[in-house]
Structure 1
């Protein structure tokens, strides 16, 4: 979950080369990247880059040029010092194949960028050719099929705004600047997951450019192996996705409730929430925040989203299951787009510095809940910021088998996102490691959209890793496309 309330709570606690590259029209026709295999080619020279830039429509920005410092940036400011080999601003999808051929010639890895929210800065990785897809941000709804065609550079707000105008929606997260493509390719948890499944579960086809330059469409009927991998396998493991088609659902008013509890009730809140979230109506969603506030104290809150008009009844049902009264409550009933704006903290989100990771819990019993609470309490005692944000994996997420898509966590209760805002990276990483140890006996793995540096791929894909690795080797044997994770 990435809610507005969550964002609010966390906030509280060479010129000549430039001219040659940026001004050319085509002729008529974070983690460091893994080394691309099968090539010992020399790095491209400035002359090579200029020649390449003349074959594509958008600018190609190199280190030392004025636009490069801007176009290489991603959401997390921690990666501002990264140094990609170049950033190609993609203005037409046909140029991606040209980029793939150039990368093949010089042994480069290609790093696709949509929203740029990778937790390991994958789309600003050192030495890669970054393909900035943000200019490709069209959203088109087809009333006959009730599906929406989303270009890979579109953000969640782009999609929500367009669909809300026709009374439709797709299940997504809430941060407005997250790329719809990246979210969907990793699975896509959000406030409508219990009602309508993951973002990936609504994907019906995707167009992508493979590392060999071929453009294909993947669906259940064609290139089904790739289609399987795209639904939860994460971005950058097979090729560069250019367009996605999703089945939509009706979108109406939403009810939102927030319940705040005493810090000492944290374990009881987590266990009660876990019981409730497994049995309550699918139209109801709720996530829990446990935040460090210093001196060992905790702030505990639950944010819920329901069908409009059900927010108070849903909250009362949850409180009854938890068995303790909240210290504060709030309720709202908003139109679909207004709810998206509220939950996302606005229509855009400023760049920020953060460190985060995840665990996936099969159950949230008293022992698992206590382990979560101990981890956040330790951070609070140290006088440092840190949060555990639990999102449900129940409801419609369970409708598919764990192997039906690359997303494996279909029989689990919750994901835990460990989140640290602007703080020392070394301190935050140490705390993440301690948090993983605390919940280790209860953790099945992690969520690939909350990727962490240095973690093995099996932690994110579980029993689906071998099949995913086979697909990746089939279409990208040289690991030409960079994802930040070795699959």
Structure 2
């Protein structure tokens, strides 16, 4: 292998190796279960640094990992004995309020994006936890609170700057390298390192947030109500039902903190004065143990779950798409959801109908436009001694839902043991994705992901 000095000579940013005092910090990702030791971590400052790192890894036959926010549940943002391209120095967000667009660096988090856009009363669909990287979220599709109203993150993507496996810096859009642009919209990190995203923005400033905690005896009522209501609900509604062990929230009785509840997390992005009335269906549904309804800045909503998933927490995920939430599926939820082992273990049932469903199944790589929901079952815990119990809860819950779900699931919710589901995840788009992969990454340099093999 060529000396690491070659890499040091060709990048502006720092190159951190096992000899550096901050190596352990540099190699860490969000999931505390992941403990890998790369040969080098490149803190890329621009596309040229990314290109140099890509060339170095390719020419020396080294594994390559790309890290934006570092939230990949399987830990794909780091790799043993290879090169990590860490995009965290590239966190700039430039907002053109008049054009309602944002240019976002490949290492920016949702918090970075929300802070910049909210100053102009604007937002774009993003995820649920604000420490998530914009890059990984978007390349996988981008499901979040605003999906029903404005589509997935990829439906709001105008163009990208991307470094491909040959080290070239390319621009991709509907008119430039359109095949690559199509694949990047849902194909995850298989086709290159995106260093800049250009995103459409929408007028979303304050939203009315409703948090409703119900006794578990009403969980079936909540799920049956939600499956019917969401099919034609106003698209300014977002949110999801969940199972949640009660955090110490001020609107919940203190003696109930730590108890398990079924929860509706709802928001209304229409006129604020209509927010109270918009929440009435969730008040009529069943008695609440506690509730909070209040106007909030959109960035607050997008960070409401951050504290449940701190950096370094151990975690494991599974997910499926659901077209029809059947009675049998609801029974499976009722059997497994209340058994969540700790406060950061939960099931969220994200609606992906509305605006997202009006994009064609082959218009982007994200093929499940007909699905109504994307289920995620996630467990997060602090202690390695709890690994087996937490992983078993997720696997058992997911297995119970499998007969009542689509064959594929959201690529961002997949674990390392889900590689065998890749063809189901992309469905009829898989063969086209393989063709694009062969064109831009025939050697499969970008393989540390839910991999589409060339």
Task: Report the TM-score, using the length of structure 2 for normalisation.
Answer: 0.90
Aligned residue pairs total 433
Corresponding residue number in structure 1 for 2:404? 442
Q: Distance in 2 between matches of 1:434 and 1:288?
A: 20
Aligned to 1:432: 394
Does 2:296 correspond to 1:334?
A: yes
Deviates further, 284-293 or 302-311: 284-293
Is the counterpart of residue 77 in structure 1 residue 39 in structure 2?
A: no
Equivalences for 1:255-334 in 2 at 5 Å?
255-291=208-244, 298-307=260-269, 308-320=272-284, 323-334=285-296
- Aligned to 1:434, what secondary structure does the other structure show? helix
Contact 1:110 1:128 in 2 (8 A): yes
Aligned equivalents of 1:62 and 1:396: distance in 2? 46
Comparing 460-469 with 162-171, which one deviates more in the overlay?
A: 460-469
Equivalent residues in 2 for 1:142-157, closer than 5 Å: 142-157=96-111
Residue 206 of structure 1, aligned match among 150, 160, 177: 160
Q: Structure 2: 5+ residue runs without aligned partners?
A: 247-258
> What is the CA distance between 1:309 and its match in structure 2?
3.1
Return the match for 2:196 from 224, 243, 247. Answer: 243
* Structure 1 pair 429–466 and aligned structure 2 pair: CA distance change class (3 A): farther
Distance 1:436 1:349, change over 3 A: closer
The structure 2 residue matched to 1:452, chosen from 410, 415, 437, is: 415
Give the C-alpha shift of residue 134 in structure 1. Answer: 0.6
Instruction: Give CA-to-partner distance per residue, 1:341-390, whole Å, 9 cap, x none.
Output: 556559x954322212112111112111111222224556xx99742111
**Cα deviation code 1:378-406 (max 9, x no counterpart):** 556xx997421111111111110122111
- TM superposition shift of 1:58: 1.4
**CA contact 1:89–1:133 (8 Å) conserved in 2:** yes
C-alpha distance in 1, partners of 2:307/2:391? 27
**Corresponding residue for 2:249?**
none
The answer as to whether partners of 1:267 and 1:366 remain within 8 angstroms in 2 is no
Question: Superposed, which structure 2 residues align to 1:102-141 within 5 Å?
Answer: 102-141=56-95
Output the CA distance in 1 between the equivalents of 2:220 and 2:244.
13
Residue of structure 1 in register with 2:255 after alignment: none
Is 1:162 equivalent to 2:116 in the alignment?
Answer: yes
SS in structure 2 of the partner of residue 174 of structure 1: coil
Pairing partner for 1:465 from 425, 430, 439: 430
Contact 1:362 1:442 (8 Å CA) reproduced: no
Q: Structure 1 stretches of 5 or more lacking a match?
A: 1-43
Change (3 A) 1:291 1:333: closer
> Conserved in 1, the CA contact under 8 Å of 2:147 and 2:356?
yes
Q: Distance in 2 between matches of 1:325 and 1:363?
A: 26
2:131 and 2:286 map into 1 onto residues whose CA distance is 37
Shift of 1:184: 0.7
Matches within 5 A, 1:379-418: 386-418=345-377
**Tell me, what secondary structure is at the counterpart of 1:226?**
helix
